Amino acid sequence: MRQKGVKIIAVVLICLGAVFPASASELNNPGYKNAAEASFPSLLSAAAFNKLFPLRSKFYTYASLMKAVQNLAQLKVQVEKRGPFIYKITRTDQRTGKKTVVRQDKDWNESWAQQKEYTTITIDYSQFCNSADPKTNQKELAAFFAQAAHETRDGADGQFNDGLMLKRELDTTNAYLAVNVVYPAVPGKKYYGRGPLQLSYNGNYGFASDCIFGDKNKLLSDPDLILRDPVVAFETALYFWMTPQGIKPSAHEVITGKWKPSAADQAKGWVAGFGLVTNIINGAIECNHGENVAAMKNRTAYYQHYLRSFGATDVRKCSCGSMQPFP
């Protein structure tokens, strides 16, 4: 979720996504009927996955991606807030219906806290690439793969064959530590980017661990679990994709069109599309700097590549060059 080495690729920053005929791509899914009948394996075969990532690390397997999708599909997480900073998180195992409060900040029941604005959101992880509309699922998977490919690439520009090569960022000198009373860094541990979307900072590791495992210490105490277990690596990426962060909507809500911008959002240039997904992931570095930011262009080029592979199109804005970054 940070800018990597400068890699320049010339692309058109409005996602027209040239179409391949459906018969030309094994990634299309003509048998898809509705959300109830859909399953992620029917959207993406092992052969298609391997074709999209021919130089991938052996760590990242189709089976581990499928297992991560299946694991998280069993989870719902309700995030309640009083004001912007006081949280209560309830995790539900949909197989058993068991609900567990995995986080409740110490001030949650204070009378002054109860006077704060109350908000709540429920994240259903089974909704990843599980819309009733197959084209929406193709666009979401193309966007997810585009961001993951950019974050983990280690090859030549313009080939689009080098995604999922890196398990962690190359420079591990930065520990990515931030003061966080709920998710404090464990002494001696570093929270640099790991996994397909390069999960970073102790706060994100703890929050992800609460949602995925119901235990913040699982990843806070052992961040290298993401490097040892490919299922966990993909789970952290899916968690980040599906979970809103602060005032940011989730990448899932944005790319599927569920998120609707307010007038204030639109004034900042925040409109639904792949460009806003990039803003969510790395806006402070890549957005609002014009149309020639190499990393932003690379993400967009990957998205166009995967859209073509799926025989899909997306006419929404893919650039974040004129978007204000999220604070």
Structural domain count, the chain:
2
In a domain, 326, yes or no: no
The CATH code of the domain that includes 150 is: 1.10.530.10
In a domain, 116, yes or no: yes
pTM score above 0.85: yes
Residues 153 and 166 in one domain: yes
Residues 191 and 45 in one domain: yes
Q: Which of 80, 140, 151, 235 is catalytic?
A: 151
Query: What range does the domain containing 252 cover?
Result: 22-73+128-310
Helix (H) or strand (E) holding 232: helix 230-242
Contact by Cβ (8 Å): 26, 51 = yes
Q: pLDDT (tens digit, 9 = 90+) per residue, 40-58?
A: 888 999 999 999 999 999 9
Residues 56 and 200 in one domain: yes
Across residues 21-26, what is the average pLDDT? Answer: 36
Q: Strands (DSSP E) along the chain, which ranges? A: 75-82, 86-93, 98-104, 118-124
The percentage of residues in the chain with a pLDDT greater than 90, rounded to a whole number, is 84
Nearest Cα neighbor of 305 from 149, 182, 112 is: 149
Report how far residue 306's alpha carbon sits from residue 199's, in angstroms, rounded to the nearest whole number.
23
* Residue 21 burial (10 A CB sphere; 0-12, 13-18, 19+): exposed
Residues 123 and 101 in one domain: yes
Residues 122 and 135 in one domain: no
User: What is the sign of the dihedral through the CA atoms of 295, 299, 300 and 302?
Assistant: positive
Our answer to whether residue 151 is catalytic in this structure is yes
The percentage of residues in the chain with a pLDDT greater than 70, rounded to a whole number, is 88
Residues 117 and 216 in one domain: no
Report how far residue 22's alpha carbon sits from residue 258's, in angstroms, rounded to the nearest whole number.
26
In a domain, 169, yes or no: yes
